[in-house]
A and B are shown apart, each in its own frame.
Chain A
Amino acid sequence: MTIAVKFENVSRHFDSVRAVDGVSLEIADGEFFSMLGPSGSGKTTCLRLIAGFETPTSGLISIHGADVSGVPPYDRDINTVFQDYALFPHMSVLDNVAYGLMVRKVAKAERHRRAEEMLDLVKLAGLGGRRPAELSGGQRQRVALARALINHPRVLLLDEPLGALDLKLREQMQVELKGLQRKIGITFVYVTHDQQEALGMSDRLAVFNEGKIEQVGSPQEIYEHPATEFVAGFVGNSNLVDVTSAERIAGVTGALSIRPEKIHFASDFIGPPDAVRAGGVVHEVQYLGAATRYEVVLDAGPVLFVIRQNIATAGRHGGPGVGERIELAWERDAMQSLKSVAAGD
């Protein structure tokens, strides 16, 4: 595995704000890598550090093995798709896409030919003569993508590129972006605050919080084995069980997280004999369509959310109502011990 981007203990401070605080990271060549985190978590600053718009306060960034300190953005083999697309309003779509070639002094006919090809790739053939202002949000997003790809960068940075699109278009673009990345085989570094997007598209992702990386791993690793309370809560929904309750319910030392869909009604459950069982009272029922969400107050104290797929048509096998007693069960594997709230940490 060759490494495309490497951060060694990189920090970026703005006066007293530690936007990025001691981040170490390796992104493999050809990988779809996402940086996931809430706003202000440092993910966008990390992206801007790779692009060269920011310089690290301390630490080392190397790209394809070469230290890039002091290398300006225009000398980096990296291109960016900006959050607001940053299309040049005074140029046609074709000239926008061809801009990277123009500044490299490629002849006009050649650069227009290649820009047309690029527009074709992002399914905007024939729109080259328009102005950016005449395009829809989704089309502008594609122009930004075509413009960033025309110089054949080895790393493409994408800063929340789908943030401004509506849900349907966003889902469609997720599939297309992933397909495009597979087709051209370059490294994508994708910044998003949308965990669904990050899980669905990435080969690996890093979860950011307060300028630090909480966890790096494949989508499955992050979702199934969240390392910290923050990751468990930010990526998907989790039931967080504190140290005392964990001891009381499951006889386990240390705080836990359990995904709501991994908790079953004991009546449905055919599991190993060492499975954990706990009784409680249904406090709230929320019908979600594909599933129903139950809020159960356990006799042992904590409140657990349970997601139950509506496999049977509701009415015939409807679940328990509010106030009814229920027994819950889950496998020992479903419980993830967490670092940050563990006793004696």
Chain B
Amino acid sequence: MACVTMDRTSGATALRRRVSTLLYRRSTFFLMLLLAPPLLWLGIIYLGSLLALLIQSFFYIDEFTGQIVYEFSLRTYAELISSRANLDIILRTMSMAAAVTVAAATIGFPIAYYMARHATGRTKAFFYLAVMLPLWSSYLVRVYAWKLLLAKEGVISWAFANAHLGWLLDGVLALPVIGGPSLSVSYIGMFLVFTYIWLPFMILPIQAALERVPASLIEASGDLGARPNETFRKIILPLALPGVAAGSIFTFSLTLGDYIIPYVIGSSRFFIGQAVYIHQGTAGNVPMAAAFSVVPIVIIAIYLTIAKKLGAFDAL
């Protein structure tokens, strides 16, 4: 009896050993085994749905019946780019995304630089916390909070009025296109909120890129005769550029796709996100919504190609 039990355990041990030997010797097989679930997830759930979206955009809606016609056609895209209103939406969204990206990079770079190269210990921890903290609270709460701040009776107008600078605010709001009756219903207000909301996504990648630049490279540049501003332009900036590119992809694409901020802040003029929302919901024109969704993907692809051509990823 004892003998049998022993045999069984040793049999199990032997099997286990054989499996582990197999996994060890066929390391590719083992790797595939580990990678299969996440790859399937990425492939089916993520890329698959993206592909479905892409396919949808090649169907079109029958004008009389309002039914989706499931056959390949470029009709939806033709309709997308032939409509003046649609092109305005795309242009408006792109301009906003570009402005927000430039502003976020301009504000974010010095902060990231200070965090990476000067701050140590508690100061650094404080900066991390200050950058991350807003991300822990609800996005909607922050957007609505900004709506109150920016409102005509809000604290910003109040501060301007009390500083006897009300004329300045009114002057800015009187500007065509970007102005409006108050900050909370103008492109300026929307720009401020977008910049505030997406800033951490710019700071963190730049900070990570700067953190990876060894101090000796900066010393070597100075040692070879480069003044600090040259060292910044020739060494620090090129090496931080992949971080700026990564950050700008975040801010740019997040702005391109967002539909809540244009809905809460700003006027009734549509952004891409809102157009997608309206087309697939109220209008039931899923092919058009899909075609609109493809626009940011194309824009980002073009942007990345240009960035690569300009050497933004040379330091990777």
Residues of A in contact (CB 8 Å), total 23
Q: Whole-angstrom distance between the alpha carbons of A86 and B222 in the complex?
A: 12
Could you jot down 14 A-B contacts, CB within 8 Å?
A53-B219, A73-B223, A78-B223, A80-B220, A82-B219, A83-B216, A88-B221, A89-B239, A99-B234, A100-B224, A100-B225, A103-B226, A103-B230, A104-B225
Q: Do A74 and B214 contact each other (CB < 8 Å), given the known contacts A89-B315, A90-B239, A90-B314?
A: no
Q: State how many angstroms separate the Cβ of A129 from the closest Cβ of chain B.
A: 14
A83 — which chain B residues lie within 8 A by C-beta?
216
Q: Do A103 and B225 contact each other (CB < 8 Å), given the known contacts A89-B315, A90-B239, A90-B315?
A: yes
Residues of B in contact (CB 8 Å), total 20
A103 and B238 within 8 A (CB): no
Q: Whole-angstrom distance between the alpha carbons of A330 and B76 in the complex?
A: 102
Please count the residue pairs between chain A and chain B whose beta carbons lie under 8 angstroms apart in the complex. 64
Against B, the Cβ 8 Å flags (1 = close, 0 = not) of A66-105 are 0000001110001110111010111000000001101110
Q: State how many angstroms separate the Cβ of B221 from the closest Cβ of chain A.
A: 7
Query: Which residues does A use to contact B, with CB under 8 Å?
Result: 51, 53, 72-74, 78-80, 82-84, 86, 88-90, 99-100, 102-104, 147-148, 151
B314 — which chain A residues lie within 8 A by C-beta?
90
Q: Whole-angstrom distance between the alpha carbons of A103 and B227 in the complex?
A: 8
Q: State how many angstroms separate the Cβ of B316 from the closest Cβ of chain A.
A: 9
Against A, the Cβ 8 Å flags (1 = close, 0 = not) of B220-247 are 1111111100100011001100000000
Besides A90-B238, A103-B225, 12 other A-B contacts (C-beta < 8 A): A51-B223, A53-B223, A72-B222, A73-B223, A74-B224, A80-B220, A84-B214, A88-B235, A89-B315, A102-B234, A147-B224, A148-B224
User: Considering the complex of A and B, which 3 residue pairs feature the smallest CB-CB distances, nearest first?
Assistant: A86-B220, A86-B216, A100-B224
Q: Whole-angstrom distance between the alpha carbons of A90 and B226 in the complex?
A: 17
Q: Whole-angstrom distance between the alpha carbons of A179 and B264 in the complex?
A: 74
Q: State how many angstroms separate the Cβ of B180 from the closest Cβ of chain A.
A: 44
Q: Which of A79, A84, A151 contacts B216 (CB 8 A)?
A: A84
A99 — which chain B residues lie within 8 A by C-beta?
221, 224, 226, 234
Q: Whole-angstrom distance between the alpha carbons of A73 and B228 in the complex?
A: 10
Tell me if B217 counts as interface (CB < 8 A to partner A).
Answer: yes
The closest CB in chain A to the CB of B220 belongs to: A86
The closest CB in chain A to the CB of B242 belongs to: A90
Q: Whole-angstrom distance between the alpha carbons of A88 and B225 in the complex?
A: 15
B219 and A151 within 8 A (CB): no
B225 — which chain A residues lie within 8 A by C-beta?
74, 100, 103-104, 151
Q: State how many angstroms separate the Cβ of B213 from the closest Cβ of chain A.
A: 9
Against A, the Cβ 8 Å flags (1 = close, 0 = not) of B277-316 are 0000000000000000000000000000000000100110
B224 and A103 within 8 A (CB): yes
A73 — which chain B residues lie within 8 A by C-beta?
219, 222-223
B239 and A80 within 8 A (CB): no
B222 and A74 within 8 A (CB): yes
